Structure formats: C-alpha cells, structure tokens
Chain A
Amino acid sequence: MSRDSRKPEPQQPSPRAPRPEATVSAVEMGARQREISVSEFFTKNRHLLGFDNPRKALLTCVKEAVDNALDACEEAGILPEVIVKLEVVSNGEAPPPPSQASRFRITVTDYGPGIVRQQVPRIFAKLLYGSKFHRLRMSRGQQGIGISAAGMYGQLTTGKPVRIISRTSARTPAHYFEVQIDTKKNEPRILEKKQIHWDSHRGTQVTIEVEGRYQKGRASVDEYIEQTIITNPHVKLTYITPEGETKEYPRTYHELPPSPREIKPHPYGIELGMLLKMLQDTKSHWLSGFLAGDFSRVSPRLAEEICKAAGISPRKRPRDIHGHAAEALYKAIQSTKIMAPPTNCLSPIGEKAILSGLYQQIKGEFYTAVSRPPAVYRGNPFVIEAGLAYGQGLKEAAENQEEKKIPLAEGEDQEGNHELARVIRYANRVPLLYQQSACAIFKSVLDTTWRNYGVAQSRSALPAGPMVILVHMASVWVPFTSESKEAIADYDEIRKEITLALRECGRRLGTFLKRRERAQSEYRRRNIFELYIEEVVEACNRLKGGRLPTGKLKEQLQKIAMKRTGGEKTDELLGKKGGGPEGLPHSIIVTPEGIEGEVSVPIAEVPPETIPPKEATEDDEEAGEPARVSGQATRQATDKRKAARPTRRVHRPSSAEADFGTAPKGSGRRVGRRRPKPQRKTTARKAADRPKKRATRKRR
C-alpha cells in the first residue's frame, strides 16, 4: 500500500465533464472521512473471523481459547492439560435444553504458564495484539485476533465482559479480571481487577459468554474436540458438554512436540513492499550486513553477491535504498540461488503420534501415517503429513457379515456400502472444520486417483469406502484463504506435497487391501473347493442313481484340494517381512486376532506369550519408549481401554521382546521402560519363535 502511494500520480488536470449538481463539497466529504478502528471493522464484518452464525460462533470461541491454551503450554514446555466447559446460560428461568438454548458460557482452563498481570487486558481485549504475528515460528495462532475477537463477539451479543483468572507460579497470587474491548479505540477497558484465591498453582482460565447454538454433528464443538485429540495426542483434555456429560481424553503420547524455533524470513518469501519496510527498520548499517543479518540462509558472501548483482554497494546504508535501487535489489534477490529455509522452525506431529491419535479416535482395520520432508512455498517452509484409517472396526465388520447370510435373489447385490471417505484437515495441529471444498487439502484428495489403490472413486468425488483421510500442514505461516482460518490456499508447492503424501498413504492402503484380498482369496479358494466338493459329490451321487459311496469320494476330492491349494503352507507363504506389520512402515493393522504395528500406548502388562516375534528395524531402535509422566493415571486409562477392545495384541519394538524371551513364564512384565538396545536376532532365535507365532495367529 505504502508503495503505491509513493508512486508519482499523474497530476495534470484532466478535462472534466461539466460537474453535475454539486450536492456535497470536498470539504464536507472530508469532514466525514475518519479513521476506522480494526475493532469497528470486525464488528461489522464478523463473518471474516468465523462468527457468521451462532453455531459457528460457539465453535470459533472454543477453538480460539483452546488454541491459545495449547500454544502457551507448548511454548512454555508444559505438557498441556485443558478443560473445556460449555454451560447453558438462562436469565433466571429454568435453563432450556442445550439444543434449544441460545446463550452459552464457555470456560477454558489450562494449567500452562499463565499470563503476567499487565498483559492480561490487552491479550483478551485488543485486536491484533499478540506474540505470534511478528515472528516466523510455527504456532496455532497467527495474527492475535482470535481470542479478543471471541471476547468482542461475546460482548456484542450478550454484553458480558470476558472474565480471566491467571496465575504464573505458586509464589504469585492469582489475578481476576473482567475486561471489555473499546471498539472505537481498539483498547481494553478493565471493569474489574482483583487478587483472588485459585486452587491451581499456575495457568489461565477464560470465561466468555456468547450467543450461540449447540448442535452435534459435522463441524460441531464435539467434532472439533475429537479432531484436536487426533493430532494432539500429547494433550490431556476434559470436555464438559452442555448436557453436563464429562468426556475425558487421556494423554496417549507423553512427549511434548519438539519446540519449534523462530526463524528469520527467507528472501524468496518477501515482497517488495516488505523489503522496503525491512530496509527502513533494520539496525544494520550496511546493506550486506542487513541482508546477512535479517534474512535466513543469506551468508555474508551471498550478500555481497546479491549486492553485486543489484549494482549497489554493499556498504550503502539500507535506509538510503529506495525506488529503482530497491527494485533492482529485489530482482537480484529473486534471481540469486539461495538455499531453502531451515526447517527446524517446524514441529510436525510425527508419524507415530498421528498413528496413535488415529488409532485412539477412529475405528478401523488399517492405519498408516506419512510425514513428508519439509518443502517451501514463497519462502515459507512447511511440512505435510497425512494419515489414513481404513475399515469399519471389528464389531461393525462382524455385524455386516451376519447380515449377508441371507440367500441372495437374482439381481441382488452383496455390497451395499457406498459411504464416502471423510477428510479431516489440520493446519498447525488445529482442525479445520469449515469450507472444505475451498481447501487445497480437499482438492488434493479429490485429485488423487484412489482407484489405483483399490478404492472405488467416482469422477471428481471423494473415494468411497469406510475411510478417514487426515492431512496436516505445519508451517510458520499457513496461507489461509480468510482470516477465519478455514481453508488452506491453493499453492502449487503445497498441492504437490499433499498429493505425494496422499499417494504414499494410498500405496500402503493398496498393499494392505491387496494382501488382505489375497489372504482372503486363499482362504476362499480352499473354502469354495470345500463348498463345491459337497455339491459335486451330491450331483454325482444322483447321476449314479444314489449308489455312490459319497464319503469316500468327498474325502478323495478334499485331499486333492488340499494338495492343490498348497495346504498348510499357504499360511506361511503369506508371512510378513520388513519394517512394519506386513512390511508396511508406520502402519497399524487390526485383525480379530490382535493388532499388528506400533501403537504408542503404554500397555501395563502383557503376558509374554502374546508377544509375537518381529524383526528389529532401524525405526524401532531410534524410537525411545514414551516417557511415563504419570504412571498410575495412564495405567488406569490403558486398563479401561483394554476392557473396551476385546482382544488385542501389540507388536512392541523388539527391544522389549528380547527381554520377554528370557522372562520366566507366566510372570507379567512391564513394557514401557527404556530397554537396552536390541541386538539383531539370530536365525536360531527366529526359528524358535516361529511355532509360537503360528500358535497365536490364525489366518482368517
């Protein structure tokens, strides 16, 4: 903008048509022109921030508060623990049922670092105030609009201030605030401020009262919470629904994601205007110093090179560069080959955590996760991760099997399942629930040829099947299509990475489906022969006038069938090799007999017999066992889960297994502690393990 205004405007008076009846003079017009505050602007345009309708507004408020809580905890290095509470508010009368209510009180509590007293009002009651806008670091929030906009929305619809309790440590007192936003000045107005007693030693609690609508289903608060848990398995979350139900989501991954580092902008990512601004603002005295100091991946030598290419002295004062010189500099930067930005500023979720999250939240038979290597769009580094859960869950599958037992009439079909896949999208670990079709992720899913991987897909539609596709984009700056952060903009580089990740997931799914199909067809092969033998023998008997020794013929045929189909051997031929279950890396396969693959849920006690042998892989060696933060709690949680899922068997990394081999029989052992590095198994050991494996596994 500043660039445009600086450009010389054509000043010569243009020949004008005779002026129409002047109604307003320039002076009068001038009197009317005045500054618009950001807050006023957003009051009128609240849909830009995601407050278009009451239902979405409720979700946005919860989302902003939770995002802030998680960001704060992670930055402070605290494993997040968040409580979300929704209450129906009524004016004296008996509260209406949640589905009918129009006013809600949202309370989000975290046990994070807390906020220093002086900052509280501005954080919650000043738009565009925050810590995240000015630095290039991966975080959920970006602009510093979210929570204050939520507060403003509450103020607008209910007139109630935002109430905050915050405490930074056990030694300092807790502070209570009631703040409102002055929409004209975009400044906080403090209504109440006092010290109070608060049970928690540190943390923040935000309470906003808003007009909203609570409705379950797609794009609801409940869905948001569930999806958040999938990509944030390190979060312990308690959700108290408006109905008063308490939903506990225990922590399933006990490591804090590595803290992302802040980076300087990459030269490819800036525009001319931005460059001009940086030239003005820099503390460097020389141009070369400015280039090397204020950008990432620009070495002093490279800076000299750029200056030379632009024809500007490296010793020139940055503040003196404008106009043509600046443009030349900009062009020189764009045409110089510069290394891609560093990627340690990103903190991807990681394949294991995605797997863990999917496995916990979504029922299925097959799970896989892919993390792409970092890539760059417009100078911003980003990482794409994709996950996929396929299948119906064992119980549902068994039920469907039951239904199919009825004899089919002519023209009847066995497959009645035409459900489409569900796409869940994330940006910096935050679920995106609206504007699916505008999102680059959704478009990439549509463009992927899922048919190649054995999944049905109609033209320009989602793939069909019991499937959940998860895509996460982690970046220092996620390009959203709007301020309400609902859809990722469609950059070619981003599309390409998403597509590659999806294809890898697809390939693994294809392999899984093919193998399962093969295993089933092998089974079916023997099975159809058994079925048909019956038929053939009966028909032969009738042909022979009922005088055939049917038992003998049947037996003979069965023997031939067994010989022809490879008999017992087929089970072994389908054996598994390679890293993950059935050779698929970063995947989990659930079968009625158990679970194959790495589930990073600490299992309290596993009898040694149920641990199947597995080849040690590099992956396993690298992966440390999750740190046990609160042993008792997780153990209880696991026990509960164990009860919920009927039979389960977990492939632990072989490090654990080496110990099991020597453990006295029957003694329960604990998995979950760090164990000495495993040695590669010897052949003798493998051989000893085999029979065990067969004993525990029955082919379907």
Chain B
Amino acid sequence: MAQTQRTKSSSVERKLIGVADAVITAAQRRQDPTLLIPVRSLSNVTFNEHKGLIEMGKGKQARSFFNVGMAKKFMQTVLVADALCELQRADLTTSLREIYYRTKHTIKDSHENTFDTQDESDPVIEDLEVSLEALREELHVRAENGGSVVGSLVLVDDGDRVDCAKLGKGGYSVPSIVEPEYLQIKKCTADFVLLVEKGTQWNRLSEDKFWRKYNCILLTGNGQPPRGVRRLARRLHEEKRLPVYVLVDNDPWGYYIYSVIKQGSINLAFESQRMAIPKAKFIGLSSADPERYGLPRNVGIKLNDKDITRARELLNYAWFQKTGWQQEIKRMLSSGLKYELDALANKDFQYLTKKYLPRKLKEKDWLD
C-alpha cells in the first residue's frame, strides 16, 4: 500500500512539474505557452443513462499566457501549481484558503496582487484538478470537515478505532479525505444509509436514536454535502452494499443536492466516477408529501423568482427526465410553494422520527 501511495504522489508531482515544462517548451519554440483545461460547464457534460452518471465531455479551453484576458489567470495557474507541488514534496495537506494565502503576494514593482480574493484561487485549483486528472485528495488539498456520521459503523482513522455507535449524539466528523489509505471501514452492520441535507434534522434523528431503531447510518453534509461525505456514502454503498436514501428540503436546491449525490455535479463531473451513487433514492421531502401527510399550507414558503428559474432549469436537465421527477418538479411549480424539512415540526417535534420516516420506509415511498 505504502508503495503504491508513493508512486501515485510522485506521479501527481510529475504532472505538476509538467506545467512548468509546458511553459519552458513553448518558450523554446517561441510559442505562446498554453494550458488546455477541460471546460467545466453544462455544455461540456453529458448524462450517461446507462451508468446513471454525469460525465465530462471532451471540450477544452486553451489558457494562454500572452493574451491580455488570460495572462493573469495563466500566471495564477502556474503559481498554484508551484504551491501544490510544494505540498507534495513536504507531504502535507492544506485547505483551499491556505493555498490562497500561500500564493498571494504583491507583484514586484507594482501595486497589483497575484490574487485579490479566494474566489480567484479556488477555480484555479479546480482547473488544475481537472486538467491534470488528479483528485483533490491527491493534490493534498482538503475541504472543510463538513459532515457528521452516526450509526452502527466502526471506522479506523489514522490507526484510531472509531465506533460511530458510541459517539453520543454528536457523532463523528467526516474528514474531507476518506480514501481507504486514510480511513478504513472496519465493521458495518447497518441496513441502509440515510443522508440528510440539514444538520438540524440530522440532530433530531440522532437525538431520537433513529439509527438504532431502524439500524441505519445517519449522514449529513450540512447543505450541499462535501466530498468526504459523498465519498463515504459511496464507499458504504459500494463496499457494504447498503442502499442510500436522501432526505432534503422540498425546493429546487434540495432536488439538486439529491442529483449531485446520485449523478455527480456539473462542476466536478470528472469525479462522478468516484463519488456518484446512481442507485441513491430520494425519500423526501416530496412535493406530494404536504398533502399526504397533512401539512398545512401555511407552513409552506412562496417560491421566489430564483426558485422558479432554478426549477425550470432542473426540468431541462437530462437526469431529471424521468416521469416521476418531471411530475415532482411540476407539482412544486404549480403549487407555488416550497417546504422545509423543519416544517414537519408543525405537527410534532418528533414527527420526522416517529411518523414521517417510518411511514416512508414502510410504504417504500421514494423517487429514483
């Protein structure tokens, strides 16, 4: 294992040095140094219906140095590559923000900064990820520890045994890198994984020991789940053959979170292979639920213009073309309302744990 890791990391290092080589070679040939970066937008992704994944197309965009519009971006790309290579050599991991600070300085003899905000450096890192075909973990960049897990699961992290059934209601904070090299699944006796959008609902379920009663693993990503959470869910699904259910708000953003978990995201389509869980099910909150569960209309929220635009966009995505989904979204649009998971508390504080989820699971009422 250690052997493979070494060669892998050195291959990433070689890829990063390749950026410098591209500049040097172009300069020797008196050409404009250019990097080819795959396009990360809707136009360059396709939905593979067979695999149920969003895949990145072949569209590439040239980033050349001697073009006024791209010169700065190019310079930034080389700087970030340098910083990432430094991480490789020192065998450290770091955050996006630290990379931003590491590469930020005022260019000599000017008042111009290499980066003005982190918004400039983050996409550059993603660009490098995509164009070098290296995963973010391989680049030693970690995201925030954004998620929590609790349930009948035993993990080994850095040699420490973590029993997720014995971590109270706080659970275990999912690290951003959960590759087998760093995190091993020792034991798993659960029957399914429940991925909850919101931390508040996860807390409710954790407090009520929902996972114990229904023998499941509770995961949350606090909004759009970070890579660690998605990857962990995928591993549990793949390695332990657990079905994954997703519980999100009933609004376009909730639908999209589900779709990212299921098929992968447009921005990071190249990671779908590793992250997506094509068999994940949408358990709620469905636009049919308010009626079915008797939620009063007054706990809904009126869809705003942004919501409506977003919902219409979703309707056009290839991976939302199933009849069930078209109906689901159109039903929301025609009702003009969205519902938060929290709205279930209108009936009872423990409605989610005691009524809603048990009934859903019993009736197998979910969307695929």
Contact = CB atoms under 8 A, between A and B. Distances in A.
B66 A405 contact: no
A574 interface: no
A535 to B, nearest CB: 5
Interface in A552-597: 553, 556-557, 559-561, 563-565
A456 interface: no
A540 B23 CA distance: 8
A536 B23 CA distance: 9
A556 B26 CA distance: 9
Contacts of A407: 106, 111, 113
Contacts of A531: 107-110, 112
B141 interface: no
Contacts of B106: 407-408
A539 interface: yes
B17 A408 contact: no
Nearest to A552: B27
A535 B107 contact: yes
Given A543-B17, A564-B66, A532 B75 contact: yes
Contact of B75 (A535, A553, A559): A535
Contact of A406 (B30, B79, B111): B111
A224 interface: no
A305 interface: no
Nearest to A563: B30
Contact of A535 (B27, B78, B111, B117): B78
Contacts of A529: 65-66, 71
A222 interface: no
A285 interface: no
| Chain B interface size range | 35 or more
B111 A553 contact: no
Contact of B86 (A405, A532, A542): A542
B69 to A, nearest CB: 10
Nearest to A562: B66
A414 B86 CA distance: 33
A552 to B, nearest CB: 9
Contacts of B16: 543
Nearest to B109: A531
Interface in B102-155: 106-114, 116-117
Contact of A532 (B24, B74, B85, B117): B74
Contact of A539 (B30, B32, B78, B107): B78
A564 B114 CA distance: 22
Interface in A360-409: 404-408
Contacts of B20: 539-541, 543-544, 548
Most chain A CB neighbours (cut-off 10 Å) among B27, B72, B78:
B27
Interface in A513-534: 521, 525, 528-529, 531-532, 534
B7 interface: no
Contact of A528 (B31, B68, B86, B116): B68
A622 interface: no
B131 to A, nearest CB: 15
A410 interface: yes
Contact of B81 (A406, A408, A541, A543): A543
Interface in A222-251: none
A528 B69 CA distance: 11
A556 B117 CA distance: 31
B43 interface: no
B188 interface: no
A560 B64 CA distance: 12
A408 B66 contact: no
A540 B78 contact: yes
B28 interface: yes
Given A408-B113, A535-B79, A560 B27 contact: yes
Interface in B78-110: 78-79, 81-82, 85-86, 106-110
Contacts of A528: 68, 71-72, 112
B66 A561 contact: yes
Nearest to B118: A410
Interface in A136-193: none
B303 interface: no
Given A536-B74, A540-B78, A543-B17, A564 B111 contact: no
Contacts of B111: 404-408, 414
B357 interface: no
B72 A532 contact: yes
Most chain A CB neighbours (cut-off 10 Å) among B16, B28, B65:
B65
Contacts of B68: 521, 525, 528
A156 to B, nearest CB: 61
Given A531-B110, A560-B66, A553 B27 contact: yes
A559 B86 CA distance: 30
Contacts of B19: 540, 543
Given A532-B65, A564-B32, A539 B113 contact: no
Given A532-B74, A542-B82, A410 B30 contact: no
Contacts of B66: 529, 560-561, 564-565
A410 B117 contact: yes
A540 to B, nearest CB: 4
A534 B16 CA distance: 19
A531 B33 CA distance: 16
A535 B31 contact: no
Given A405-B111, A410-B116, A556 B81 contact: no
Given A406-B111, A529-B66, A535-B78, A553 B24 contact: yes
Nearest to B26: A560
Nearest to B16: A543
Given A543-B81, A559-B30, A536 B75 contact: yes
A540 B24 contact: yes
Contacts of B117: 410
Contact of B65 (A410, A536, A563): A536
Given A408-B111, A408-B113, A548 B81 contact: no
B75 to A, nearest CB: 4
B115 to A, nearest CB: 9
A543 to B, nearest CB: 4
A539 B108 contact: no
Given A531-B110, A539-B79, 6 more contacts: A528-B71, A529-B71, A534-B108, A543-B17, A543-B82, A557-B33
Interface of B: 16-17, 19-20, 23-24, 27-28, 30-33, 65-66, 68, 71-72, 74-75, 78-79, 81-82, 85-86, 106-114, 116-117
7 contacts: A408-B106, A528-B112, A531-B108, A532-B74, A543-B78, A557-B33, A560-B27
3 A-B pairs with least C-beta separation: A543-B20, A556-B27, A540-B20
Interface of A: 404-408, 410, 414, 521, 525, 528-529, 531-532, 534-536, 539-544, 548, 553, 556-557, 559-561, 563-565
